Amino acid sequence: LKEAALFCLDKGRPLTKEEMQERLRAAAGKQEKKKTGSVALVGAGCGAYDAITVKGLNTLRRAEVLIYDDLIDERLLSHVSESCEQIYVGKRSGRHSFRQEEINDLLVQKAREGKRVVRLKGGDPFVFGRGSEEMIALRKAKIPVTEISGTTSAIVAPAGAGIPVTHRGLARSFHMVTRHTSGTGDWLAEDIDNLGAVHGAMVLLRGSGRLAAVSDRLVGAVKSGWTPAAVGRQN
């Protein structure tokens, strides 16, 4: 309306019907552009709430919509504004509040409402966190998306027990493997035997429910029964 009024003053006449329609279309286009928000995939780190990076925490504080996972310290929720919409989409073995496709759709929907959306995930979004799937879905929908890394449990959990994943002369590399692998008979990674033969440390995530199968498979294939091992579990 302001632009239309200035045009009338400049020309010394009212707008024609065609000119008014053209300006309404232009205004609608600008408004539509403003409605597209953005999504930040933020890793909360592993363990206590202060494990999150400074960049991740600052992004969290600016969120207008927070979509968060199960494995985070809930004290992080106190850092969002009172007006921020909070949506829990946690997933644990045998209990999924949202399917991954539903989470992808939710991220797109909230961003299209013009909101600054933070997808808060435990650990690192790109380490078995399905953050890449969410980024692909958002890019396909032409939603601006960024990733803010967090420390992964594959490194932090062993370190908390005093176990380094690399050590000069002992473990020159480390390998992260997830126990959940569809399409195999025992749900173990199809290349777990080959990985077990590689010199270095193996970090197996989400394996507490199949410890016997994992140890039997590794010892039966390549490992000695005297290979040092440790088990950690989050309650």
Q: Concatenate the DSSP letters of all residues of 87-99 into one string.
A: EE--EETTEESS-
Q: Is the pLDDT of residue 71 over 90?
A: no
Contact 173, 198 (CB under 8 A): yes
Reported pTM: 0.75
Of 103 and 192, which is predicted with more confidence? 103
199-215 burial: b if 16+ Cβ within 10 Å, else e: eebbbbbebeebeeebb
What tens digit of pLDDT does each residue of 126-179 get? Answer: 998 899 999 999 999 999 999 999 999 899 989 988 999 999 988 888 988 876
Contact 40, 58 (CB under 8 A): no
Of 104 and 197, which is predicted with more confidence? 104
